[in-house]
Structure 1
Amino acid sequence: MSSSISKTYRSFLNKMTEDKKEYRKVFLLFAYLFFVVSASTIGRTAADTLFLSRFDNSYLSLMYLPQALVMITAGIVFQRFSPRVRLETLLKLMIPLISAFVLISRFGVGLELRWVFPVIYIGYDVFNFLMIVCFWQFATSVMDQRKAKQMIGLVGSGGIMGGILSGFGLKVLVPLVGTANLIYVYAGLQLLGLVVVFVILGMTKDQGDSKPAQVRKASSKSSSVQQKGGLFASVPHLKYVAILAAALVVSLTLIDYQFKVILRGTLQNEALAGFMGSFYGFSGLIALCVQLFVSGRVITRFGVMTALLIFPIALFAGSLGILVLPVLAMAVVVKGSDKVVGDTIYSSVSQLVMFPVPPEWRNKAKGFLDGIVRNGAKGLAAICLLLVTRFVAPEKLSYIVLVLLVVGIFAGIKVKKAYLTTLLSNLKTGGDDLQKVELNLMDSVTRQILIDALNGSDKQQALYAFGLLKETSSFDLTLHLDGLLRHSIPEIRLEALAYVEMKVPEGFEPVLQELITSEHVQVRAKAIIALSAYAEEDYVDEITVHLEDSSVEVQAATIAGLVKYYSIEGMFRAVGKLKDMMESGHEEERIAMAALFGQIRVKNFYKPLISLLQDNSPLVRIRALESAAILHVPPLLVPIIGMLKDSKTRRYAIDALAAYDEDDVLPQLAPYLEQQEISLYLPAVFERIATQRAMDMLFACYEKAPYALRDRILESLQRMSKQLLQPDSRKVEGYIFQELTLYAQFAEHGACVVGVDDYAEIEKMIGEIRTAITRRVFLLLALLKDGQTMQAVYLDWSEGDSRQQANAEEVIDQTLQGTLRTEMAKFMAGSRKLSKVTASKVELNLHLSWLAEQGDEWLTQTIQYHTLRKSETVVNVELADLMHRVQLLRRVSLFQGLTSRDLSVIAKRLHKLAVEQGNTIIREGDPGDSLMLVDEGRAGVYRNKKLLGELNLGDCFGEMAILTNSARTATIKAEDTMVLWRLDSSVFYDMMFDQTSIAVEMMKLLSRRLRSELERGQEKAQASAVEQGEELADDQGRALVEGQGEDQVHGQVRDQGRDGNEEAAQSELVLAQSEAAAAAVQEPQAATDLTRDEVILRRILVLQKIDLFAHLGPNDFMWLAQMVEEVAYEPGEAVCRAGDFGDTMYGIIEGSIRVHRGSEEFALLGEGAFFGEMAIIDSGPRSADCTAKDPAVLLQLHRDLVLSFCFQNIDVLRSMMRVIADRLRGMI
């Protein structure tokens, strides 16, 4: 028992320490609300007592209507004008003014001016309303919204405490100072609240909600362009909350009338004031207990939506009681429920339902609810009282209350779905339409766009259009074949020849005979096979001649054509050449033979592939795998599976295995799931097979799988689930609970190493493991619920600000049920940091032993190394050497940001070199293909035989060469006998195929370095321009166009010609720019209002111009085109500004965009260009201003969308990394 209490106490202290600043803020808000509510209670009591002591019941019912009208007017004025003033400024002005009016009213009361009493009866209610509304707006603007659900109860208890103390204090104050002098206390408490406001503002400068952001205007030319609605469209659950609030306000007004009528018939003057004080005191005391011990648990356990219904249900039960027993005691119980439940659970929940609303709408929504809905409801209640009380006894009003509460409860039930819509709309989902659509190629305009693209000069667009049109049964591609076979782009000719081979259309033999003489080897080879497909005896001799062609590829194509289409005669003609090539020792011929069996497509010819799959040449093995994928015969399965070990052949092996029928391949794959060296690559195979049986088999091995394999299994399962495949939901939940338990166990066993210098690396690794567990939890949730939503929840919770984190927690709270919901709520509400726990040496060793036994090889090695070092025991030589290499890699700036686990992977790929004194290590001008680390000795850096500097222990060289294979810029010679560690570029890229996290982190680092170089270059250029005049300023502008990191020019750059003889260092970049600028987006001139198909196609044709996406397939482009948004900009309107936070890249559909800084223009981008791509890598600040020159329509592609989709493709990662590295190389 004592240990449990001690553990709870330590947990509380740790939480207080972690959130010290937030708790201080919460306690100040507690004090602020305490003063506001205390002032409200005392002011309300004074006004009620003074009024009721001078007017009878008939006046009481009359007061509700003017009171409601004044409140509505105040609410409308507040909602209309308050957003124009900063909230803190409003508070600084409003509180002193209210206090001044209160003090003035005291003189009217002292003079017994009869009109003053109804004025203060209404006026104090208006003041109290404004103070409460402003408080909650202020509180939500300064609180950490992720912690709001846990801490809002503490803030709210300040109001309850104020109600208690002010209630009991009234019994003491009234006899001493009299009812009228309570007005001075009322004013004083308001001013004390202002003091607290100043203290809070001193803590949280500039954290208030800013003014509403400008709403982006949607393009009129596309039905898919994002449009913003009004208040109800932006806050879908507001209408239901408003109905519930209105029903409750009318009900409470009627209940308040019942309470006061019964009360006035019993007590008068000071006795009345004393009773009301006691009532507020005792009800507040009970409410405090509810707030502290019940409210938070109810909200956490049952969720916001269930808690929202507790208050109306309690009032419903109380109103039934008044009908049965209309006495003071029952009236007190019903009125007391307003304090005990309404001011606790309902008050907290009514604030929480507004937290997911974006700041630009939140204050409007709260102003609408508090100022219009609630006060309008009071007006409606007043009219009801005026009409009904003349004919109905007060207790009979409960019938009306019951009907209203039924309406309110129904609205409360409807809130949930709309509330979830609000939550989801604020997550980083990256798009609206998650359903995959198909283009309607029956549409004439859409087909014409494709035909224009097919005949255009843009290779990507032409290939995409060809791929779509050839699969369209209603489109006759034969009519265009003649032009396609003569197309200027060789790839289009090859596709057209493949189509001819497949369809064998009449009349194209002369064109094929012409192409057989083409200078392009691949075209010539493909033309031979296409001509062979006609199987005409007239052409057999013409084809046979090419068996002696100078090109091995043409010879292989001739053999394939003869064997495949000319039966025995063709086999007879080709067999001699086939035998010679099979026995050849030349790699080129073996490559041709490996590809030949796929071209022949005869399954009985598979046996030669077995030896070719084991060839020493990677290219031969790759071609053999491609042929195996075509033949997909079972005897080839085992050697194909073995190819998964080799990074050079892995991708092709996956393709080959995926081509098999599941009945053949799955039984063969099952045993390999337990083999560590191959199992990591099998999820990709199961993903490609994509059947329910494949999913079940893959998921079945999750429990026993090591952590790295679990990650890959879940990633593959997530992509498989998009094809409507589903795993067993009970197993999924069970695995989630296991992961949550594992997360807590790592926290428990890792607590002993927190803050211990010798184990700092282990502490960091435990944090990395817990982060990976968290990701797996959300991937598992994505198998139960919508995957896009769960991914967005994870991103918001792990990377978002406090409001986004709060939204994410609330989505989980509303989406899950039962035990899973409870455990996930605890998990997300808990601290992600390890808490320090002091442990004895024995306890420490036990904890470390548990950590070492968890199957994480690198963690085990690290624990072993540090434990042996600390005990001064001899460390294993190999382990010590690995740790030494990791420490060397930490000094490489290129690898800054990588985890020790990532560095250990790189360290294992390093190759040791010994260099004698005086030898040259690298020579200036030679191709660079490696990075080197100095472990021992000293080297000199020379350029033009002049010594520039020295390299010593821990230094490295060749950072950019490993990424770009660029030429060496200096000669490095060994001044002493040296030991170096070498990392080859090919090895490094192969490693990133398996370790995507390394690629992502390195791209972020390169992007940041590029930004730094840009800023440094811009500063130097600006200084140079001042000294040397306009000529150098122009040169700077051109340099920025060529090397701009954030808003890089990749499209059509108007008014700036290109010289074909640019420097070699810029050649790749210029090539990428010229290719992207080759063609503008094709659009039908007659189409003004585009159909959805045309919109999707238009987007695809823009996306294909982005070189970062050069490796995406047609389905990938289709998916992206549906997920991006279109946004319209007017001339002169800024798209982004230098220094702004960037998380979006843009492609231009229409119009043009200026890239500039102030008045200095760097480039003018036209249709088909894109910019801002660096933002999707590191979300850094913009490097330049981008402004619409003409009316423009842009595609918006958010960072989260790219991270969730494009980074699944290693080719996209490589492409992006090379683009960044090339730009950086040109800057330094």
Structure 2
Amino acid sequence: MALFRNYIIKLRSLLPLPFTKGPQITIDPHRIQRLLLEKLESTQAPEVIYALDRLEQLGEHDLEGLIKTGLNHQDIEVKSHSIHKAVQLQLKKSTDLLLSLSHEKKIPAKVKEEAIIAYCKLSDDPSPVISPLLHASEMHIRKGALIGLMGYGNLQSQATAHTLLSDFLHSDKNEDKIVAAAALGEIKDSSYFNYLKNYLNDPSFKVRESAAHACGKWLHPHSIPFLLDQLRFKELHAVVSTALVNFKDQLLPYLHPYFVASSNERDKLFLSRLCHLCSQIGSTAAQELLFELIIHDEPWVELQEEVHLALQGTHFQTRSMEQLFRIHDHLERQFKQIHWLYSALHTLEKSKGAQLLSQALKIELKTLAKNRSILFSFINHTPSQKAAEESKKKLKNPDYSQLLPGHLSTKLNLLVEETSYQEKLHKLSHFYSVYLYDELSVITKILQDVQRQAFFNRWTLAVAAYSLAERCNPSMLPHFTNYLTSQDKLLVDSALFTLRKFCKRYGRTLPDIIHELLPKNPLAEKIIAMTESTTLLEIEKVLMLKSSRLFSKTPENVLVDVAKILEEIHISKGGKIFEKGEKGDCMYIIYQGEIKIHVGHYRLNTLVDRDFFGELGLLDANPRSATATAEKPSILLKLEQEAFYELIATRPEISQGVMQALSSLIRAQSEMLSNMQSGMAQS
């Protein structure tokens, strides 16, 4: 859908207005009209839809004829657009054509539903024609008839429709529930609200989807908590998000408790979706909620990037001196954290085997720099946008002394200098002091943040625990309590990995250590059961992803989110992963093993550890072009298309790296095919 909107925007930019402003340039409106009329014959839906809309705006063409052309067009998207246009323009002469659409066999049921509802809205008395459709075999036709007659039929047909609705409400059939939910969204009768609430908890996702869509039309405030519960499901988040955004500022008070929840109750993906809702609402109240999340004294670091991007998406600018001063305070806290990170990197330089932790801290610095850049854009610092743009063109780096207090501008200017971090550390040390004696002092500081997560992201916290594997001593065990009680598998896994190593060195058993750290805690037995699992650690998945060509350019803290949606699959020798012709909606990465890609008995490729295959399944759902078979027992990590798409919506850096890797692969395969064809031609 986003691609479609971009197409329309581009098309509009290419097609001029009837008259272009300026002393010399004028465009012949008749020429434009001819061009638009030609576009009505196009097979490309965006072109036809654009032409219909622009001809309507020009007002120099028969609207009835235009919509008739659209309704008769072969493309379903054009038909649907024309149906809505007919209602919008109140074109009553379109009713016969709308009715004929509802009977066409080749028309999708959803479009038939739209045509029936449109007919009811435009017809003086739709009842005689539409009433028989209440008992049609197709669900969408029944739905269209029910909604249309309840809203626009005569008294008798309305009574019949309400009786049928009552039957649907008491039916156990999913199709009847879907129709009933859609109807409830149209009639908005409070006496039926409990039915809609129950549908939101129905076992069928299709029923829940219909109920969520209805809630977005009804806008009953009591439905908000139930919709928020459904937002956690990947199968429903798109339709639920659309419904929730329709509530606008009415939604915001329900979001705040989720943002201030304790660390153990945080669900990053869910909270990211809430940030996106605020950004879509974009009101002053939504901006203030996001702003509070950014400048909070102890913000949840893991969510900060999403919050910054969400607020940026609303085009927020400071509106008061209080907001400006709070940004100043936030920048000061950030500078202090940057000084600590530089000091930690300097300390880790002296330690062997600290590369993984050093890399994690460098990622923290990059994230802070990115967030700082966004934060700085919020400052309403110029009298006009034009002056701001001119200043940006003239200066490679703005003069921060004109925008910030002296002590802040001095620190910010030295951070953007193209010098080594050691030089920046030296200069920042005039303002801050920190004492880090060795690698253990760095790790200890990071471990202490695991409960609040106010300074370090999950990847850094996990790496810190993981790095202690060979040097953990009894005095450090209490730090792992909060790791073990975390709801985050990455943190639990990293703690258990190190505790296993500790037990081996000190002759202890892991269950004893866990009971010691979690006395009388019911979680203890659950964690002990986890220790018996043979599945890969989350941190192992991240490191494996980073070592693959596909994700080599994606930062580890981002790969944490990718690892979370991977499904581990064990395949025995000779096992088929997929066959030629099957629908492709996922890809696989080989953690361990050997996979043959072949068509029949003809071998195309042999893949081993860290290789990936089926990657085009991430881009589309076309049939597989070959078969994949395990040559020996293998461990694969499966990445589903739908989950991946949702992730890259909030993590664009993933798609950038993946698309770059896929482009390189496609180029290499094209060159190989070209060489094969040349060789065959020469022979």
TM-score range, shorter chain: 0.7 to 0.9
Structure 1 counterpart of 2:615, one-letter code: E
Q: State the number of aligned residues.
A: 583
1:51 match: none
Residue 468 of structure 2 corresponds to 867
- How far the C-alpha of 1:696 sits from its partner, in A, is 1.5
Aligned to 2:281: 689
| Contact 2:319 2:380 survives alignment (8 Å) | no
Instruction: Say if 1:508 and 1:962 are closer, same or farther in 2 by CA, change over 3 A.
Output: closer
Higher relative contact order (CA 8 A, sep 6+): 1
User: Could you tell me how far 1:730 is from its partner in structure 2?
Assistant: 2.3
Change beyond 3 A, Cα 1:789–1:674: farther
State the distance in 2 between where 1:762 and 1:792 align.
Answer: 39
State the distance in 1 between where 2:359 and 2:423 align: 13
> Which structure 2 residue ranges, 5 or more long, are not aligned?
1-13, 426-433, 450-454, 473-497, 502-509, 511-530
Q: 1:619, CA displacement in angstroms?
A: 3.7
SS at match of 2:396: helix
The Cα of 1:998 is off from its aligned counterpart by 1.0
State yes or no: 1:615 paired with 2:202.
yes
Residue 993 and residue 614 in structure 1: after superposition, are their counterparts in 2 closer, same or farther (change >3 A)?
farther
- Structure 1 stretches of 5 or more lacking a match? 1-218, 226-439, 797-803, 1029-1228
SS in 1 for 2:299: coil
Partners of 1:816 and 1:916 lie apart in 2 by: 63
Matched, 1:563 2:150: yes
How far apart are 1:526 and its partner, in Å? 2.4
**Does residue 361 of structure 2 align to residue 766 of structure 1?**
yes
User: Is the Cα contact below 8 Å between 1:749 and 1:848 reproduced in 2?
Assistant: no
SS of 1:1001's partner is helix
Q: Is the 8 A contact 2:134 2:142 kept in 1?
A: yes
Q: Give 1:635 deviation, angstroms.
A: 0.9
Instruction: Report the Cα offset of residue 863 of structure 1.
Output: 0.8
Q: Distance in 1 between matches of 2:164 and 2:142?
A: 8
AA partner of residue 510 (structure 1): D
Amino acid at match of 2:121: A
Q: Is the 8 A contact 1:931 1:961 kept in 2?
A: yes
Show the counterpart of 1:857: 458
Q: Does 1:573 align with 2:160?
A: yes
**C-alpha contact (below 8 Å) 1:526/1:557 kept by paired residues:** yes
Out of 292, 295, 304, the residue aligned to residue 710 of structure 1 is: 304
Q: Secondary structure at the match of 1:728?
A: helix
Tell me by how many angstroms 1:602 deviates.
Answer: 5.5
Shift in Å, 1:685: 1.6
Find out whether 1:829 has 2:485 as its counterpart: no
* 1:637 positional shift: 0.6
- Are the structure 2 counterparts of residues 443 and 748 from structure 1 closer, same or farther at C-alpha, using a change threshold of 3 Å? farther
SS of residue in 2 equivalent to 1:758: coil
Aligned to 1:104: none
CA offset digits 1:988-1023 (Å, max 9, x no partner): 333333433211221122233344445566667777
Instruction: For 1:972 and 1:779, locate their aligned partners in 2 and report how far apart those are by CA, in whole Å.
Output: 45
Q: Distance in 2 between matches of 1:864 and 1:793?
A: 48
**SS of 1:764's equivalent?**
helix
> Residue type of the partner of 2:412?
M
Q: 1:461 aligned to 2:47?
A: yes
Deviations, residues 257-300 of structure 1 (Å, cap 9, x unaligned): xxxxxxxxxxxxxxxxxxxxxxxxxxxxxxxxxxxxxxxxxxxx
Residue pairs, 1:1155-1174, within 5 angstroms:
none
Name the residue aligned to 1:897.
553
**TM-score normalized by the length of structure 1:** 0.43
Alignment of 1:325-724 (within 5 A): 453=39, 456-467=42-53, 477-478=63-64, 480-519=66-105, 520=107, 521-534=109-122, 536-537=124-125, 539-566=126-153, 568-600=155-187, 605-662=192-249, 664-675=250-261, 676-677=266-267, 678-702=270-294, 703=296, 704-721=298-315
Task: Give me the TM-score of the superposition, normalised by structure 2.
Answer: 0.73
Q: Secondary structure at the match of 2:553?
A: coil
Name 2:646's counterpart in structure 1: 990
For residues 1011 and 466 of structure 1, the distance between their equivalents in structure 2, rounded to whole angstroms, comes to: 40
Q: After TM superposition, list the pairs within 5 Å mapping 1:183-262 onto structure 2.
A: none
Q: Which residue of 2 aligns with 1:846?
A: 441
Relative distance call for 1:666 and 1:836 in structure 2 (3 A) is: closer
Post-superposition shift, 1:496? 2.9
Letter of the structure 2 residue corresponding to residue 689 of structure 1: I
Q: CA deviation at 1:695?
A: 1.4
> In structure 2, the residue corresponding to 1:898 is in which secondary structure?
coil
Looking at structure 2, the residues matched to 568 and 922 of structure 1 have their Cα atoms a distance apart, in angstroms, of 57
Q: 1:930 aligns with which of 586, 594, 619?
A: 586
Counterparts of 1:42-191 in structure 2 under 5 Å? none
TM-superposed CA distance for 1:816, in Å, is 5.7
Structure 2: distance between partners of 1:901 and 1:929? 25
Q: Distance in 1 between matches of 2:613 and 2:538?
A: 20
For the Cα contact (< 8 Å) 1:441–1:447, is it kept in 2?
Answer: no
SS of the residue 2:313 aligns to? helix
- Give the letter aligned to residue 742 of structure 1: Q
Aligned letter for 1:515? L
Q: Which moved more, 1:874-883 or 1:571-580?
A: 874-883
What is the letter of the counterpart of residue 302 of structure 2? A
Is this contact kept in 2: 1:929–1:984, CA < 8 A?
yes
C-alpha separation between the residues in 1 aligned to 2:110 and 2:200? 24
Change (3 A) 1:224 1:505: closer
How far 1:516 moved relative to its partner? 3.6
Aligned to 2:495: none
**1:906: which partner in 2?**
562
Separation of aligned partners in 2, 1:1014 and 1:790: 49
**Aligned-pair CA distance for 1:954:** 5.0
Equivalent pair of 1:929/1:961 in contact (CA under 8 Å): yes
Structure 1 502/971 Cα, relative in aligned 2: closer, same or farther at 3 Å?
Answer: closer
Please give the alpha-carbon distance, in whole angstroms, between the structure 1 residues aligned to 2:439 and 2:401: 37
Counterparts of 1:482 and 1:952 in 2: how far apart (Å)? Answer: 58
Matching residue's letter, 1:987: A
Q: What one-letter code is carried by the residue in structure 1 that aligns with 2:83? A: L
| Counterparts in 2 of 1:962 and 1:533: CA distance versus 1, 3 Å | closer
Give the deviation of 1:590 after TM superposition.
Answer: 3.9
- C-alpha distance in 1 between matches for 2:83 and 2:604: 57
**TM-aligned CA distance change 1:721 to 1:456, over 3 Å:** same
Structure 1 residue 624: deviation in Å?
2.5
Distance in 1 of aligned mates of 2:100 and 2:623:
42
* Secondary structure class of the residue paired with 2:438: helix
How far apart are 1:941 and its partner, in Å? 5.7
1:850-880, Cα deviation, whole Å (9 max, x unpaired): 2342242221111101112344852585897
What percentage of residue pairs aligned between the two structures are identical? Answer: 18
Deviation for aligned residue 1:604: 5.7
In structure 2, distance between residues paired with 1:755 and 1:623 = 60
Matched-pair contact (CA < 8 Å) for 1:753–1:836: no
Given that 1:752 and 1:836 are in contact with CA atoms closer than 8 Å, whether structure 2 keeps it comes out as: no
Contact in 2 for aligned 1:920/1:973 (Cα 8 Å): yes
Query: Match for 2:643: what amino acid?
Result: V
After superposing the two structures, state which structure 1 stretch, 729-738 or 918-927, moved more. Answer: 918-927
Distance 2:207 2:152 in 1: 25
